[in-house]
Amino acid sequence: MAKITLDNLAHSYLPNPKGEDDFALKELNHDWVDGEAYALLGASGCGKSTLLNIISGLLHPSQGRILFDDKDVTHAPTTERNIAQVFQFPVVYDTMTVRDNLAFPLRNRGADAAYVAQRVQQIAAMIGMEDMLNRKARGLAADAKQKISLGRGMVREDVNALLFDEPLTVIDPHMKWELRTQLKSLHHEFGHTMIYVTHDQTEALTFADKVAVMFDGRVVQMGTPQELFERPEHTFVGYFIGSPGMNVLNAEVTGDRAMIAGTQVALGRDFGAPTGKVELGVRPEFTRLTSEDTGLPVTIKRIEDVGRHKIVRADFEGTPLNVIVEEGREISPDMTRITFDPAGVNIYADSWRVAPKGDAA
């Protein structure tokens, strides 16, 4: 197991990249702490696979270095990195049995037969394929093959890191949950450094201790699920995480006041005088409907009852605003204004969070 350091890393698929736009991965400096379970979360095309393939050595970066425990492996081949990687689609040997597929990475490294037999049995139980060990992989359904791929990724105990690239895409929803739970218990048992790529926030937030959110070739925030929820460092994090995501409104901010389309809003904290494109972000959980004569006037478009709470879809001068109303709270027709709980308000300048005065971060 190892700490993985990305030093000044960047990657372009073009031979002669000109500007930043030509880079699939923009400059990145980051440590992946030894033994932690990470999720790499972002929309399709933001650079997740590119980053993962650079860590595993399938791809060589156009700039910067990768270190495993301070050893430079930037130009080391995949085999020397001692990493297990599972891809989105199954990679199995069709002519081999399930058992031989699972045993392959162990036999390849000269493990003794008794250990191989015992370990294969253990992994087969984790992926729910104990009664299929003697079947040839050929002819198995895509999800069964993907479970074999997953099992092969997990079979070795001596890897530096385990990398998963959207490994549950072809697996049915119930099994997804089951396998994710197995991956988590594998992490607790062996404490491997794990990086799990997904575009699904639920998957990321339930699997990982820390989530790295990627947007447009950048890791815009790395944090615990709670940090991503409470203080999104970038408007994309606010919008991408949460359901519904953070409300974002154009604002003019001076000190502890914001002006939003002519209405003054108290912020509770002093944000100085941010410049550029200034926005106020507040999650639906910290947004309230009121019948009092204060706050932003809105039009309610729709109320959705999702069981645990209601989601009110409102409109403020053409900008959608969502409010989460706890179960049992009445929503009356005279509630035509919206206020924000100052503790849940974040201010952004050019999409990046502005730290209020006295804020530790």
Residues forming the site for ligand ADP (CB under 6 A): 13, 24, 42, 44-50
Q: Which entry of Mg ion, ligand ADP, none binds 79, CB below 5 to 8 A by partner kind?
A: none
Find the shortest distance in angstroms from Cβ 54 to Mg ion: 13
Q: Which entry of Mg ion, ligand ADP, none binds 191, CB below 5 to 8 A by partner kind?
A: none
Q: Which entry of Mg ion, ligand ADP, none binds 50, CB below 5 to 8 A by partner kind?
A: ligand ADP
Find the shortest distance in angstroms from Cβ 12 to ligand ADP: 9
Cα separation, 5 vs 244, in Å, equals 34
Return the axis-axis angle of helices 142-154 and 98-108, rounded to nearest 10°.
20
Determine the straight-line distance between the first and last CA of the chain, rounded to whole angstroms.
30
Return the axis-axis angle of helices 142-154 and 173-190, rounded to nearest 10°.
10
Cα separation, 131 vs 72, in Å, equals 43
Find the shortest distance in angstroms from Cβ 50 to ligand ADP: 3
Find the shortest distance in angstroms from Cβ 240 to ligand ADP: 13
Q: Which entry of Mg ion, ligand ADP, none binds 153, CB below 5 to 8 A by partner kind?
A: none
Residue 212 or 282 with smaller CB distance to ligand ADP: 212
Burial 138-159 (b: 16+ CB within 10 A, else e): eebeebbbbbbbbbbbbbbeeb
Residue 45 or 268 with smaller CB distance to ligand ADP: 45
Find the shortest distance in angstroms from Cβ 277 to ligand ADP: 24
Q: Are 322 and 244 in contact (CB under 8 A)?
A: yes
Stretch that binds Mg ion, among 28-36, 47-55, 206-214, 290-298 (CB under 5 A): 47-55
Residue 50 or 287 with smaller CB distance to ligand ADP: 50
Neighbours of 358 (CB within 10 A): 7
Residue 9 or 24 with smaller CB distance to ligand ADP: 24
Residue 24 or 161 with smaller CB distance to ligand ADP: 24
Find the shortest distance in angstroms from Cβ 217 to Mg ion: 13
Residue 45 or 191 with smaller CB distance to ligand ADP: 45
Residue 46 or 265 with smaller CB distance to ligand ADP: 46
Residue 53 or 182 with smaller CB distance to ligand ADP: 53
Find the shortest distance in angstroms from Cβ 70 to ligand ADP: 26
Stretch that binds Mg ion, among 45-53, 237-245, 306-314, 335-343 (CB under 5 A): 45-53
Q: Which of 5, 49, 198, 322 binds Mg ion (CB under 5 A)?
A: 49
Residue 56 or 247 with smaller CB distance to ligand ADP: 56
Q: Which residue matches tokens 């309610």?
A: 300
Find the shortest distance in angstroms from Cβ 14 to ligand ADP: 8
Stretch that binds Mg ion, among 27-35, 41-49, 188-196, 208-216 (CB under 5 A): 41-49
Q: Which entry of ligand ADP, Mg ion, none binds 46, CB below 5 to 8 A by partner kind?
A: ligand ADP
Q: Which entry of ligand ADP, Mg ion, none binds 42, CB below 5 to 8 A by partner kind?
A: ligand ADP
Q: Which residues bind Mg ion (CB under 5 A)?
A: 49
